[in-house]
Structure 1
């Protein structure tokens, strides 16, 4: 069963355009945890409705306790609580959340697929813009009190961390440069080289944009000089763009089919190195630069957990 079908089965109203994992407000998010739905499609002959409803209520109660205990969030409850209409439309429920002063609603549902496998879907919706700011399906095994408790702890942590994510870093993405040390370096950059450098920059742009960690700003045109050999050029370019950090990618060509891809991230205010990485020696034509660059940044920058500004 697809995740889209899971949404329909659970009755979770996620018809909004997905966006980055952030609440609309820069203040502490006011969070309302709505009721979750439950669907059993396991086909088991024993009626477990009562047990499932109890575990579902405990699951939602656990989410509400976690939100209340999290200093990064502020819990709110609808005025009709604890007797809000369960069959209210998604629009009505968002209106109830708005009247309660919520900026974000956490909602979702659980579906039992078999004796051992269940899906839990959790989503967070920005009340003002009706934009989905978090949406994820989790798989957990078992249908016992212990299994549900473990699932709630994991889901709760994921949602709360997403809602309290820091403001994206303003990053100046500078065009990739070629450092040609091969025997043919005297021939200069070819049109194919320039095209593949642009492709590498585009590939890294997509990876960074999808991460939600950075807000990209870019130069309006090509730089007038190579930045890789200039001590302060990267930082100055970032400052001119109003960025907090800069990222410069460099492809060092050793032979016609041998190259190393590297990147470095610097602070705009001091020029201090924040992060760097290189791919090690790679073999391939220049049309593989973009794939290598995207993979390197994904693994060595986005996987590092760096958040220094």
Structure 2
């Protein structure tokens, strides 16, 4: 076997071994995921608060399920009420996160820009290191349950890849 062939075989073996180690490391990560926030800046006249509340609950449920399917151990922190950056102090969110057995907190918000365009901002915080370790800014299209479900699926896939270095299923 030539040196080049040996080097390629060794690199392939190391990549295979590393891939085998990546899944358990991802599976060992417990992350607290409170409900995301939503704001509507579209200026539409029709009152859509009830629909958006239902779609946000669907987004949260889908996001958590997809993160779990991707290998994370997801917990929902209990802040004695809504647990969100807008309505809860950071100290209370950190305490609720630690109460789940996690030191990782994933928070986010959706903002409807126009009738069919929105943004999603996601932040992953390592409470033990006291620092933000990943920030993602994404966009989505549509304003119905199907669009918000797709947005949650894409958000989970992006977070798994960008913030945890994991492959999605």
Equivalent pair of 2:122/2:136 in contact (CA under 8 Å): yes
Distance in 2 between residues matched to 1:90 and 1:69, nearest whole Å: 28
1:129 CA drift (Å): 1.8
Equivalent pair of 2:67/2:157 in contact (CA under 8 Å): no
Distance in 2 between residues matched to 1:163 and 1:114, nearest whole Å: 28
Distance in 1 between residues matched to 2:159 and 2:47, nearest whole Å: 31
2:22 corresponds in structure 1 to none
Q: Which has the higher helix share?
A: 2
Equivalent pair of 1:33/1:63 in contact (CA under 8 Å): no
- Structure 2 gap ranges (5+): 1-24
RMSD: 2.1
1:77 CA drift (Å): 3.2
2:7 corresponds in structure 1 to none
2:81 corresponds in structure 1 to 84
Distance in 1 between residues matched to 2:26 and 2:69, nearest whole Å: 20
2:70 corresponds in structure 1 to 70
Structure 1 residues 133 and 143, CA gap change in structure 2 (3 angstroms): same
1:144 CA drift (Å): 1.3
What TM-score, normalized by structure 1, do the two folds share?
A: 0.42
1:150 CA drift (Å): 1.2
Distance in 2 between residues matched to 1:26 and 1:161, nearest whole Å: 11
Distance in 2 between residues matched to 1:43 and 1:97, nearest whole Å: 35
1:43 corresponds in structure 2 to 43
Equivalent pair of 2:27/2:73 in contact (CA under 8 Å): no
1:44 CA drift (Å): 0.5
Equivalent pair of 1:31/1:74 in contact (CA under 8 Å): yes
1:33 corresponds in structure 2 to 33
Alignment map for 1:191-202 (pairs within 5 Å) = none
Distance in 2 between residues matched to 1:74 and 1:146, nearest whole Å: 25
Alignment map for 1:135-284 (pairs within 5 Å) = 135-165=135-165
User: For the pair shown, which has the larger CA radius of gyration, 1 or 2?
Assistant: 1
- Structure 1 gap ranges (5+): 1-24, 167-309
Q: Provide Cα deviations, 1:228-273, integer angstroms capped at 9, x if missing partner.
A: xxxxxxxxxxxxxxxxxxxxxxxxxxxxxxxxxxxxxxxxxxxxxx
1:66 CA drift (Å): 1.6
Equivalent pair of 1:110/1:119 in contact (CA under 8 Å): yes
Structure 1 residues 52 and 102, CA gap change in structure 2 (3 angstroms): same
2:60 corresponds in structure 1 to 60
Distance in 2 between residues matched to 1:130 and 1:63, nearest whole Å: 24
Equivalent pair of 1:31/1:67 in contact (CA under 8 Å): no
Distance in 1 between residues matched to 2:38 and 2:92, nearest whole Å: 20
1:116 CA drift (Å): 1.5
Distance in 2 between residues matched to 1:28 and 1:124, nearest whole Å: 16
Q: Which has the higher contact order (CA 8 A, sep 6+)?
A: 2
Structure 1 residues 58 and 98, CA gap change in structure 2 (3 angstroms): same
1:67 CA drift (Å): 2.3
Q: Which has the higher strand share?
A: 1
SS of 1:64's partner is helix
